[in-house]
């Protein structure tokens, strides 16, 4: 029990506490005042949609974000929740609220109130660290450093309130730089190594911050749609496109950034942290932009500065995510992590290029294309990481634990039978993961065709925008977006119909580049498709079960294979191994691979059916094993290799039998017959059927 009035702050580190730090109700309450500041700054940006207006928005957003981050980091480092701490936090909320109230005046040219409110917020965070310095001797080095950093920033803010512009903004830059540069200093790095932060708590806090700023987009769009024209289908459709952007950003962040781990290299967490500043700023501006985008026309181009606000904030969002991606890794990715960064950067460039030529498109079309680009990234993320890291990680070690307990490793109920190719590779180095060529070659035709289709449209869209930068670059058309797109399609495919042609040196240069890109992409696509088509596909049918029957007075393991295609497979060989789980006397778990000797392991011509026999004698690894229960038998793996006479290349097939696939005391029914004209028949409908072996118990 501890006093609710006063108790000593305790430094919290990820290594000193078994359980991670949970977000408190006080932190969530503090977030509410931050919402007010976002709304005020968003409204100010809405009134001045220009590059200068966005600069003023960013200038005032950064101190607000630092005030929130300063409190969040203190909560991350210390466990304290008494009367004094709550009072200091509530006072800090009032200071941040004053920043929100004074932000409009500061943007209008009177920054004194905003500066004094910032000074109060930073000063209170400094007081919190001062209290920790007094009461917690073990963390005095940490609390002294950060108490001084926030205290110096608070003093500079007071000074800035009493000097005339432009000196005010110069001192503002100094007070912000003090806090921003502090984590980069050598003392701060040493302290972070001595007192490790709780990264899971920070990830959750910045995720909640992202949720807050994303929520503003929904609020703004839905509030507009409830107005005079909200019920019209056109406005609802544009609202759908606008909110799709917000949903895509949510998906990208929480399926990628929030689910990634910070790399264990110097400075990675600082990049992760600072990447969230432009991200929060961009998403707030995106909330303003999507509301303006709902007003775009289906026939006429959108208002230029609204289009640029939408494109700029969306591009900044994607680039911020790319920056964070560069400092994080996803262990369950199928592709290298650098592909995430490349996808964000390319998408940001496409969005900005689209804004440059938006005058040739209707505003609604621009909005729809941007929504499609973001939605494509969601699909890309799903292809890169189709598996989650929940149950797979929880199941690690269960085989060894079961063997130590004297039991048998059982398959997980309710799940399909696992295969070797389904193994989840946890923690594979990013440089050794699958490349795009392997990704497409191994993947399905649906994945390949959809990816190539999207890439085809994307490349044509990029070159269309480049042609639109100089409308005279395409001769024979009206200079419209449609003509430029048609000309790009003809150029990329090297198919020209004569009506459209390059109309300027700039157009000639673009045509040269696009033809080269088209030839390169065609070569890559052709190589992948030919390799997928030319790979020999095995048509070997294995019996679903194995049987243990009596043959020549000895128990014999039998299974069979059939060539379902009926062509010649020459010089076929088969190998059978058993996977057996063993536990050494020292308690080390090992899965051994043991060869099972066969009566006949090769066949000169495999055209119909082949029964494979393994005698369970004293030399067999299965000798003495209770095959009814499986014991330590993990699986029996069969591989068949042969030369396919039709393909003219080697073909292979593999099948895995689980212990429950072994039927003791059964034998296969005969499936080979002969027609009246002497031709052989094989009845594959009965290929898996068995019947009791009368000699099994003899």
Q: Can you give the C-alpha Rg of the chain in angstroms? A: 34
pLDDT for residue 408: 45
**Average pLDDT, integer, range 556-564:** 90
**Average pLDDT, integer, range 625-641:** 78
Query: Residue 534: which pLDDT band, with cuts at 50, 70 and 90?
Result: confident
DSSP 220: H
Beta bridge partners of 615: 556
Give the model confidence (pLDDT) of 232-288 as tens digits.
777 778 878 888 888 888 888 888 787 778 888 877 888 988 999 999 999 988 988
Phi and psi at 335, nearest 5°, equal -110, 165
Tokens read off for 78: 């210390």
Q: Which has more pLDDT, 452 or 18?
A: 452
Q: Which has more pLDDT, 310 or 681?
A: 310
Give the model confidence (pLDDT) of 293-347 as tens digits.
888 888 788 788 889 999 999 999 999 999 998 888 876 666 777 888 888 999 9
Give the model confidence (pLDDT) of 76-108 as tens digits.
888 888 888 889 989 999 998 888 888 888 888
**Average pLDDT, integer, range 139-147:** 87
**Average pLDDT, integer, range 441-469:** 87
Give the model confidence (pLDDT) of 201-236 as tens digits.
888 888 888 888 888 777 777 776 676 555 577 777
3-state helix, strand, coil split of the chain in percent (to 5) is: 55, 15, 30
- Does residue 465 carry a pLDDT above 50? yes
**Average pLDDT, integer, range 552-566:** 88
pTM: 0.75
- Which of 67-71, 92-96, 361-365 has the least mean pLDDT? 361-365
Tokens read off for 501: 């042609």
Give the model confidence (pLDDT) of 172-190 as tens digits.
888 889 988 888 888 888 8
Q: Mean of the per-residue pLDDT values for the chain?
A: 82
**Average pLDDT, integer, range 458-465:** 91
Phi and psi at 39, nearest 5°, equal -60, -45
Tokens read off for 231: 């019920």
**Average pLDDT, integer, range 467-478:** 84
Measured between alpha carbons, how far is 491 from 480 in angstroms, rounded to an integer? 17
Give the model confidence (pLDDT) of 7-54 as tens digits.
777 777 655 555 667 888 888 888 888 888 888 888 888 888 888 888
Residue that the structure tokens 């995720």 belong to? 207
Query: Residue 614: which pLDDT band, with cuts at 50, 70 and 90?
Result: very high
Measured between alpha carbons, how far is 635 from 628 in angstroms, rounded to an integer? 13
pLDDT for residue 695: 57
Tokens read off for 227: 């107005």
pLDDT for residue 516: 93
Where do the domains of the chain lie, and which CATH numbers do they carry? 1-197 (no CATH), 230-410 (no CATH), 438-535 (1.10.287.70), 540-692 (2.60.40.1400)
Number of Cβ atoms within 10 Å of the Cβ of 44: 20
């Amino acid at each position: 029990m501890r006093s609710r009035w006063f108790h000593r702050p305790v430094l919290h580190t990820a290594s000193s506490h078994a359980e991670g730090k949970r977000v408190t109700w006080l932190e969530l309450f503090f977030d509410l005042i931050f919402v007010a500041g976002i709304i005020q700054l968003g409204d100010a940006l809405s009134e001045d949609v220009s590059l200068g207006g966005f600069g003023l928005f960013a200038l005032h957003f950064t101190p607000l974000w630092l005030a929130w981050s300063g409190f969040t980091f203190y909560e991350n480092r210390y466990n304290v929740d008494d009367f004094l701490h709550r009072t200091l936090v509530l006072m800090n909320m009032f200071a941040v609220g004053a920043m929100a109230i004074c932000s409009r005046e500061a943007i209008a040219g009177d920054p004194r109130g905003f500066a004094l409110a910032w000074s109060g917020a930073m000063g209170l965070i400094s007081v919190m660290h001062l209290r920790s310095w007094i009461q917690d001797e073990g963390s005095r080095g940490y609390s002294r450093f950060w108490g001084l950093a926030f205290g110096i920033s608070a003093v500079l803010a007071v000074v800035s309130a009493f000097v005339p512009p432009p000196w005010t903004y110069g001192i503002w830059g100094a007070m912000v730089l003090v806090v921003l540069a502090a984590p980069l200093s050598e003392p701060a790095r040493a302290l972070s190594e001595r007192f490790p932060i709780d990264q899971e708590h920070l990830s959750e806090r910045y995720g909640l911050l992202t949720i807050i700023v994303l929520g503003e987009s929904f609020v703004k769009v839905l509030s507009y749609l409830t107005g005079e024209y909200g019920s019209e289908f056109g406005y609802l459709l544009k609202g759908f496109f606008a909110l799709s952007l917000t949903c895509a950003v949510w998906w990208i962040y929480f399926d990628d950034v929030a689910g990634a781990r910070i790399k264990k290299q110097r400075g990675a967490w600082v990049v992760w942290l600072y990447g969230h500043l432009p991200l929060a700023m961009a998403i707030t501006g995106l909330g303003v932009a999507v509301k303006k985008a709902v007003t775009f026309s289906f026939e006429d181009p959108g208002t230029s500065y609204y289009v640029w606000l939408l494109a700029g904030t969306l591009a900044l969002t994607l680039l911020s995510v790319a920056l964070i991606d560069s400092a994080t890794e996803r262990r369950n990715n199928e592709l290298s992590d650098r592909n995430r960064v490349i996808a964000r950067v390319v998408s940001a460039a496409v969005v900005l290029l689209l804004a440059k030529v938006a005058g040739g498109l209707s505003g609604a079309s621009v909005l729809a294309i941007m929504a499609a680009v973001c939605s494509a990234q969601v699909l890309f993320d799903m292809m890169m990481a189709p598996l989650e890291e929940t149950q797979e990680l929880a199941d690690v070690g269960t085989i060894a634990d079961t063997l130590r307990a004297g039991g048998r490793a059982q398959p997980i109920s309710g799940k399909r039978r696992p295969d070797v190719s389904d193994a989840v590779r946890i923690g594979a180095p990013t440089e050794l993961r699958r490349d795009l060529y392997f990704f497409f070659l191994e993947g399905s035709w649906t994945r390949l065709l959809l990816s190539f289709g999207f890439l085809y449209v994307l490349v044509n869209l990029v070159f269309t925008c480049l042609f639109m930068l100089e409308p005279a670059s395409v001769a024979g058309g009206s200079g419209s977006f449609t003509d430029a797109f048609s000309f790009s399609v003809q150029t990329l495919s090297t198919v020209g119909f004569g009506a459209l042609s390059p109309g300027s040196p700039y157009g000639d240069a673009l045509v040269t580049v696009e033809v080269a890109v088209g030839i390169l992409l065609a070569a890559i696509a052709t190589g992948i498709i030919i390799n997928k088509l030319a790979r020999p596909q095995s048509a070997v049918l294995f019996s679903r079960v194995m049987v243990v029957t009596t043959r020549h007075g000895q128990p014999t393991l039998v299974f069979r294979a059939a060539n379902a295609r009926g062509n010649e497979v020459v010089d076929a060989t088969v190998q059978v191994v058993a996977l057996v789980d063993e536990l050494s006397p020292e308690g080390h778990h090992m899965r051994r691979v043991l060869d099972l000797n066969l009566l006949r392991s090769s066949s000169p011509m495999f055209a119909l059916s082949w029964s494979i026999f393994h005698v369970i004698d004293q030399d067999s690894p299965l000798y003495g094993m209770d095959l009814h229960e499986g014991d330590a038998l993990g699986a029996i793996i069969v591989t068949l290799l042969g030369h396919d006479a039709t393909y003219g290349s080697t073909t292979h097939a593999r099948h895995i039998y689980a212990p429950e696939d072994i039927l003791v005391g059964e034998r296969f029914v005969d499936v080979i017959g002969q027609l009246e004209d002497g031709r052989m028949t094989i009845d594959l409908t009965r290929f898996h059927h068995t019947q009791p072996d009368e000699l099994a118990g003899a």
